[in-house]
Amino acid sequence: MPIEHFPMERYIIQVLTDTRPPQYLLKIDPVFYTIERTRFWPLNWGDRQFYGLNEAQNKAFQSALTREFAIIQGPPGTGKTFLGLKIARTMLKNSEAWYSDSPMLVICFTNHALDQFLEGLLPTTDEIIRVGGQSKNEKLNDYNLRNIKRVLDSPNRAISERQLVVRKLKRDIESINNYLKIIAKYDTVVDFGTFSGVVPEYATSWFATAENDHIINWLFGGHNRKFGKRRVNNVQNNQNVSIIN
């Protein structure tokens, strides 16, 4: 393979330390990320902190999202897998910024680590293909390449395809039911981004760019006649009010 065709040859072969931003962040039209309801240009990160990460984790998080090549190291128990999932989920939620018919590739040292990581992505996406036959995680059976190929190659392909659709709908229903249970408890606030697919004007509304604190302040700023004062007070008295997504 010619050196110039080697992936990341600038860093792996030439060992240059001047890391560039990814090409998709250098477009003429600025690319914006939305993280925890904050919409901004990643190359203008400033002192923003997300997900309750400590200083070192937040620096690594920023580096991974603003450089085309990043290495995150640390001893066991420092949150590398946790941070990796936060990075992957953030990129998937902002895929319109970088996706152009090329998937995200996840490679792990062990099958167990790969299963654990992919399972952690399931709440964010079900567009996953798990390559390799050593998976022992039942939750990933539907995403195993061998199983998907078997379904598509079967004589009853039309039925098999419908079964895949039904399984996806069941997962969607389960997710919606979980949201309904959370809402019924009146002790948290569901991320308003949940409504982006059903409210046509959501993308141009204040809610699309408002931060979590602003949403909560707005909710508690008026009298909620629909649910009554008692239920509003129940939420206000809860010391762990937060927005979940």
Going from N- to C-terminal start, the domains of the chain cover 1-75
pLDDT on residue 163: 77
Radius of gyration, alpha carbons of the chain: 21
With beta carbons less than 8 A apart as the criterion, state whether 212 and 188 touch.
Answer: no
Is the pTM value of this prediction over 0.85? no
**Tens-place pLDDT, residues 61-95:** 999 999 999 999 989 888 899 999 999 999 999 98
pLDDT on residue 196: 66
Nearest to 169 by CA among 126, 130, 124: 126
**Tens-place pLDDT, residues 97-114:** 888 778 899 999 999 999
What does the alpha-carbon distance between residue 130 and residue 144 come to, in Å, rounded to a whole number?
A: 5
pLDDT-derived band at 235, boundaries 50, 70, 90: very low
User: Looking at 29-38, 45-54, 149-158, which range is the least confident one?
Assistant: 149-158
Q: How far is CA 2 from each of CA 7, 11, 68, 104, 196, rounded to the nearest angstrom?
A: 10, 15, 21, 24, 46
